[in-house]
Amino acid sequence: MLFPWHLLGRLPDALAGLSLLLVPPLSAQKAVPSRPVLDKNAFILTSSGFKVQIANDPATKKLMATLPSHQFVMHDFAGSPRYLYADPNVCVCIYVGDGEAYRTYRGMMTSHLQTDTVAPDYGSEVNMLLRAPVSSTTLDTPASLGDFFRQKF
């Protein structure tokens, strides 16, 4: 049998097309939960003891730009952990809480997932919000966290 040399010229096009199937779209990589989930999340954050810092001053705006949106960041402040949650979509604010507020929040959020009446897409959005906190030392500009806490607390 002869090798089909005429098809060899199309191999790069076929590999490029195959690679597009293996890479998830950008929208799937940085998904944002739906507005109803974010509204409920804001209510649960404040109910569990998180304080709201509206991003209307230079220090909070600077910090808001450095924090990942809709993911907790843990920062050591004066020997105790503080949890920050940036919400650029609903309140344009940063929620700040201690370890107790964070544990209460997780308990309230996970209790909703333990019922049979939760829609599958709601569960996946809540699980997105319940990702493990990122350490503030992994951020590009952790100095802005220090500026924020010196001015606010």
Tens-digit pLDDT profile for the chain (153 aa)? 565 655 555 555 554 454 444 444 433 445 778 888 889 999 999 999 999 999 998 888 888 888 889 999 998 877 889 999 999 988 999 999 999 999 999 999 888 777 657 676 777 888 788 888 888 777 665 555 656 655 555
Range of the domain at 65: 30-144
Q: Would you state the pLDDT for residue 149? A: 57
Q: Is residue 63 situated within a structural domain?
A: yes
| Chain-centre distance for alpha carbon 74 | 12
Sign of CA dihedral 89, 107, 46, 36: positive
Q: Is residue 134 situated within a structural domain?
A: yes
Q: Is residue 4 situated within a structural domain?
A: no
Q: Would you state the pLDDT for residue 2? A: 61
Are 92 and 54 within 8 A, CB to CB?
yes
Q: Is residue 115 situated within a structural domain?
A: yes
Q: Is residue 13 situated within a structural domain?
A: no
Q: Is residue 34 situated within a structural domain?
A: yes
Q: Would you state the pLDDT for residue 26? A: 38
Number of domains, the chain: 1
Q: Is residue 96 situated within a structural domain?
A: yes
Q: Is residue 136 situated within a structural domain?
A: yes
- Please give the single-letter amino acid code of residue 63: L
